Chain A
Amino acid sequence: GAGVSQTPSNKVTEKGKYVELRCDPISGHTALYWYRQSLGQGPEFLIYFQGTGAADDSGLPNDRFFAVRPEGSVSTLKIQRTERGDSAVYLCASSLRSDGTGASYNEQFFGPGTRLTVL
């Protein structure tokens, strides 16, 4: 079956430009996550969607970053006025549902990422 897909795989842009990164989650997964991975670091949480709504956007670094998931499936991460410090790999993950209570978990399946380079 198809996993999480992300496009483009690589994006090179100039400082100040606007970029959109797309994530196509596994079919039927209601929860979707965006992470950012800088060189030599682990992924850092950006935003989480449950269905169409952003349930937690506390990881977005500033208001230049925005994400949408209008139909509860595909999500787009949008970055305005890009800066060189935005250069990183942007990872998307999806899970069947978000966790409720209790000790059970819900595995997050990751996509291959989009490598963003801001010149």
Chain B
Amino acid sequence: AQKITQTQPGMFVQEKEAVTLDCTYDTSDPSYGLFWYKQPSSGEMIFLIYQGSYDQQNATEGRYSLNFQKARKSANLVISASQLGDSAMYFCAMRERLTGANNLFFGTGTRLTVIP
């Protein structure tokens, strides 16, 4: 089974509007971390936001917020007030704690296009 599923290959959003990028995950580890990365056309992975499995509140970082629904195993990224520079690939990722693995498991990504 895929550890991270991103079901939206591509999304469009009007500039200044909000957009939600979906992410669901699968793990039996009770302790894990969820990450979102942005990958512009330059190729570098840029860290956006993190949510720990034991965090009580949804993570927020500026215009980014993470809608964490633990029972549903979803960790959707919300980008508010979209800007043209937000056009990029977005990847959801997870790291499990108790398995001892330190690597990130990534989804297949969502390509976001912001329309002027």
Contact = CB atoms under 8 A, between A and B. Distances in A.
Given A103-B53, A112-B43, A42 B93 contact: yes
Interface size class of B (residues with CB under 8 A): 20 to 34
A50 to B, nearest CB: 8
Contacts of A111: 44
A91 B46 CA distance: 12
Given A48-B102, A98-B102, A43 B45 contact: yes
Interface in A65-119: 89, 91, 93, 98-99, 101-105, 107-113, 115
Contacts of A108: 47, 104
A102 B105 CA distance: 18
Given A42-B91, A43-B45, A113-B43, A101 B97 contact: yes
Interface size class of A (residues with CB under 8 A): 20 to 34
Interface stretch (B14-22, B69-77, B79-87, B106-114): B106-114
A14 interface: no
B50 interface: yes
B58 interface: no
Contacts of A93: 45
Nearest to B103: A45
A66 B108 CA distance: 25
A53 B14 CA distance: 48
B88 to A, nearest CB: 13
A109 B102 contact: no
Nearest to B96: A99
B27 interface: no
B53 A112 contact: no
B108 to A, nearest CB: 5
Contact of A40 (B31, B102, B108): B108
Interface of A: 31, 33, 35, 40-45, 48, 50, 55-56, 59, 89, 91, 93, 98-99, 101-105, 107-113, 115
Interface of B: 4, 31, 33, 35, 37, 42-47, 50, 52-55, 91, 93, 95, 97-98, 101-109
8 tightest A-B CB contacts, nearest first: A42-B106, A45-B103, A110-B45, A103-B52, A103-B54, A105-B33, A98-B102, A112-B44
